[in-house]
Amino acid sequence: MSAKPNSKFKSWKGKDKATEDSSGFDDLNPTITYRHLSAHNLGVRDPLRVIALCDSDAFYAACEMIRLGIPDKPLVVLQWQSLIAVNYPARTFGITRMMNIDKAKELCPELVVVHVATYADGEQEPAYRDNPDTRTHKISLDIYRRESVKMLQLYKQGLPENAEVEKASIDEAFMDLTRPVRQILLDRYPHLARVPDDAPMGLDTPIPPPPQVSWNELGTLVPINPAQESDADSDDIPSTWHDVALSIGAELMEKVRQEIKAKMGYTTSAGIARNKFLAKLCASYRKPMGQSILRNAAIPNYMKPMAFQKIRFLGGKLGNALAAEYDVSTVGDLLSITLDEMQNKFGEESIWVYEVLRGIDYSEVKEKQTLNKSMLAAKNLPEPVTKLSEGYQWIRTLAAELALRLNDARETTPNLWPKTLVLSARDVRAHESRRSKQAPWPFVREVNVDVVAAAAEKLWKDLIDPHASLKIINISLGFTGIEGIESGLKSIDTFFKAPTPKRPLEDDTTNDDTAAKPSSKNISKDLSSFVCSRCGQRSSLPQSAIQTIAERQSALALMQMEHEDFHLALDLSKVPDPARPLREAGRVAVTKPAKKKRRKESPPRGIAKFFGKS
Ligand code: DCP
Ligand code: CA
């Protein structure tokens, strides 16, 4: 299919409804008007949308190659007996993931085999061992998590500020390049930024034809006509403005990928297309070190031969139902099903199936909160724990992992505080098979294995009946309610002045502060408790491990604020307009960002039955 200029002028406004035409690839070359270019945010329906998915090549294996300084040797990463990552040199020997390790060594005797790091009882840090024992060790993926965080930061730094970056998995990120691309496009073609005086339809006038894109050095083009001579189509077919946008996106991606390679050593592969679904699909078109570009005109022939059950969400019951209903296997086979027919059979919402088969996807690239609200360390036990004392070894191991992860996270967000420590255990024999206990986490700045293990051991004692017969097969230990209190601390500073020689800290307790804020005058001299001026209740800090004045100050301030929030919530429950007291109080909970509406991520209701557990 060629990208002929669209003769039909379509209004830029309004929803592009999925077409009733059964083949339906009718949105591949939309007319671009001055209005499109001047609009600030057309969001997911921007006709010049450019999305990229960047994926690290053989990620865990690459982390190990870099750690060990052996860039070219065949290497695999092992987790117990399973191969979980195979580098590209090893793949040339025919080694694949999930292959038996003995078979892999047979295929490549010089294979470097790295077992993922493990925690052992009593150790604060994971270590690399050749033969860890599942009965006494626990897997650590911390090194990969750390590298993943660094890489995500580099993506953000390496792309223009108005690009959106969303972590998709440990080694993948989506990038919405639409806005930076638009800016570059207008800089390069400034005549597009202004509607000509003689434009017949003013802002709605289509912009002049685009230049021919030279794709050299920008990546591999998914061919428009795969049956033809491979490169013929790139020069022969007139470029569209969307192609120009994709080519600018490809320049940005080339640059950021080179930076990742130069600064961290990792090679990556990218897919660039008009939406997330297609960017992800074509990212694996050329791997490793590939950058694949899917022009709109190439979408139909790329999609048609694809086994539709390979598409995410179409692999399960819904895919089976579609295959059974129409006795077909490829996307092309399903294109003859009209929208009406599909909706009659599978409900109104099956429009998204109809659209995805035609390469349409309106999902957003949204930066997720980088801060994980919770952290969990879990272990499936090789031998069930049958009595209380047998649990301590695992609790220490889990505590070490949790402490390390919190400290890692504190490297990027220094003032992270978990609210709660949760311990849970799964007992195969008990009626209610998973039970848990939790406790508020004390305000300790230095979190190490001893502190976490001590708190977890208490929970363990509470959780486990020493006289009951046990068969615990899984234990998990986690922090929940993790929040960064940087912003909170700033406001804390305003009423907890740093102690100065002239005005010792104790003086603060008599310092009269404003009534609207938590006031320091109710704080005890030894910084161990405060009394609420509204309800008279005294709240005390746990005596545990809070060492310095600064720690006590921030801990007390947080406690006060939480107490204030409790009153605020109580007030809110008593008044008809929930916004009023909040406005009057002039503040919201310090550490909690305003709740955003969550996008529904689950598939639509009418076809929900196809998504249940099989
Ligand atoms: N991983 C895992 N178990 C799996 C799949 C993956 O532990 N079943 C880990 C190891 C991989 C990492 O996740 O290195 C990323 O997964 P990918 O699917 O992206 O695979 P790779 O990055 O290893 O290879 P590729 O170059 O094909 O992306
Ligand atoms: Ca990968």
Show which of 109, 141, 173 is a domain's final residue: 141
pLDDT at 570 (0 to 100):
57
Nearest residue (CA) to ligand 1, atom 5: 84
Q: Which of 241, 253, 242 is nearest to 163 (CA)?
A: 253
User: What CATH number did the domain enclosing 164 receive?
Assistant: 3.30.70.270
For residue 474, pLDDT beyond 50: yes
Residue 250 Cα to ligand 1 midpoint, Å, equals 24
What residue ranges line ligand 1, CB within 6 angstroms? Answer: 55-60, 84-85, 170-171, 287-288
Residue 42 inside a domain? The answer is yes
Inter-helix orientation angle 59-68/142-158, to 10°: 100
Cα 298 to Cα 234: distance, rounded to the nearest angstrom: 11
Q: Whose CA is nearest to atom 18 of ligand 1?
A: 58
Q: Do 129 and 115 touch, CB atoms closer than 8 A?
A: yes
Closest by CA to 288, choosing from 267, 274, 264, is 267
* 568: pLDDT strictly greater than 70: no
**Cβ–Cβ < 8 Å for 539, 532:** yes
- What average pLDDT does range 34-61 have in this prediction? 95
Scan for tokens 């310090």, then name that residue.
590
**Do 154 and 240 sit in the same domain of this protein?**
yes
Structure tokens at 101: 């390790």
Task: Give residue 59 CA to ligand 2 midpoint distance, Å.
Answer: 5
Position 500 in a domain = yes
> What's the CA-to-centroid distance between 215 and ligand 1, angstroms?
30
Q: Tell me if 387 sits within 8 A of 448, measured CB to CB.
A: no
Query: In CATH, what number is assigned to the domain containing residue 432?
Result: 3.30.1490.100
**Spacing, Cα 84 to ligand 1 middle (Å):** 7
Q: Is the pLDDT of residue 9 over 60?
A: no
Q: Are residues 46 and 189 located together in one domain of the fold? A: yes
Judged by average pLDDT, the poorest of 140-149, 181-190, 552-561, 579-588 is 579-588
Q: 216 and 159, same structural domain?
A: yes
Is residue 340 in a domain? no
Residue 112 backbone dihedrals phi, psi, to 5 degrees: -90, 125
Lowest mean pLDDT among 245-254, 286-295, 582-591: 582-591
Per-residue pLDDT reduced to its tens digit, 572-582: 444 333 333 32
Quick check: 439 and 488 in contact, CB under 8 A? no
**Per-residue pLDDT for 24 more than 80?**
no
Place of tokens 């945010």: 41
Is the CA virtual torsion 285, 290, 291, 297 positive or negative? negative
Ligand 2 centroid to residue 57 C-alpha, Å: 5
Same domain, 420 and 547: no
Residue among 3, 53, 86 at smallest CA distance from 292: 53
Cis peptide before 300 (omega within 30 of 0): no
What tokens does 290 get? Answer: 């590939």
Residue 163's pLDDT band (cuts 50, 70, 90): very high
Of residues 93 and 530, more confidently modeled: 93
Q: In this structure, which residue's CA is closest to atom 4 in ligand 1?
A: 84
pLDDT in tens, 186-222: 999 999 999 999 999 999 999 999 999 999 999 999 9
User: Which distant-in-sequence residues (6+ apart) come within 8 Å of 509 by Cβ?
Assistant: 520, 521, 523, 524, 525
Tell me, yes or no, whether 243 and 156 share the same domain: yes
Q: pLDDT tens for residues 380-435?
A: 888 999 999 999 999 999 999 999 989 888 877 777 889 899 999 998 886 657 88
Specify whether 259 is located in the same domain as 133. Answer: no
- pLDDT digit string, tens, across residues 224-243: 988 875 555 555 689 999 99
Q: Give the separation between CA 413 and CA 370, rounded to whole angstroms.
A: 10
pLDDT for 537:
72
pLDDT at 251 over 90: yes
pLDDT at position 542, please?
62
* Prediction pTM value: 0.70
Distance CA 31, CA 299 (A): 18
Does 357 fall in a domain?
Answer: no
| CB neighbour list of residue 404: distance below 8 Å, 6 or more residues apart | 124, 125, 126, 140, 142
Q: Which of 126-130, 142-146, 247-251, 568-572 holds the top average pLDDT?
A: 247-251
Q: Is residue 72 part of a domain?
A: yes
Could you tell me if 188 and 278 lie in one domain?
A: yes
More confident call, 416 vs 23: 416
Q: Is the pLDDT assigned to residue 595 strictly greater than 70?
A: no
Q: What is the pLDDT of residues 261-297, one digit of tens each?
A: 999 999 999 999 999 999 999 999 999 999 999 999 9
**186 in a structural domain:** yes
Same domain, 507 and 564: yes
- 486 versus 125: which is more confidently predicted? 125
Range of the domain at 121: 59-141
609: in domain: no
| Residue 413 vs residue 39, higher pLDDT | 39
Is residue 599 pLDDT above 80, yes or no? no
Q: Give the start-end residues of each E strand in 533-609.
A: 538-540
Both 541 and 557 in a single domain?
yes
Q: Regarding predicted confidence, which is higher, 63 or 517? A: 63
Tell me the C-alpha distance between 304 and 306, whole Å: 6
Residue 579 lies in a domain: no
How large is the average pLDDT for residues 543-572?
Answer: 58
Whether 199 and 222 share a structural domain: yes
Three-state secondary structure of 252-293:
HHHHHHHHHHHHHCCCEEEEEECCHHHHHHHHCCCCCCCEEE
Most informative mutation of 53, 54, 56 for ligand 1 (most atoms within 8 A of CB): 56
Which DSSP string corresponds to 99-137?
-BHHHHHHH-TT-EEEEPPEEETT-SS-B--SS--TTTE
**pLDDT at 17 exceeding the cut of 50:** no
Residue 67's CATH number = 3.40.1170.60
Do 547 and 441 lie in one domain? The reply is no
**Average pLDDT along the chain:** 80
440 lies in the same domain as 506: no
Give percent above pLDDT 90 in the chain.
57
For the chain, how many structural domains are there in total?
Answer: 4
Amino acid symbol at 455: A
Percent of the chain with pLDDT over 70: 74
Contact 271, 53 (CB under 8 A): yes
**pLDDT (0 to 100) of residue 532:** 73
With H, G, I as helix, E, B as strand and everything else as coil, classify residue 24: coil
Closest CA to 171 of 273, 83, 249, 287: 287
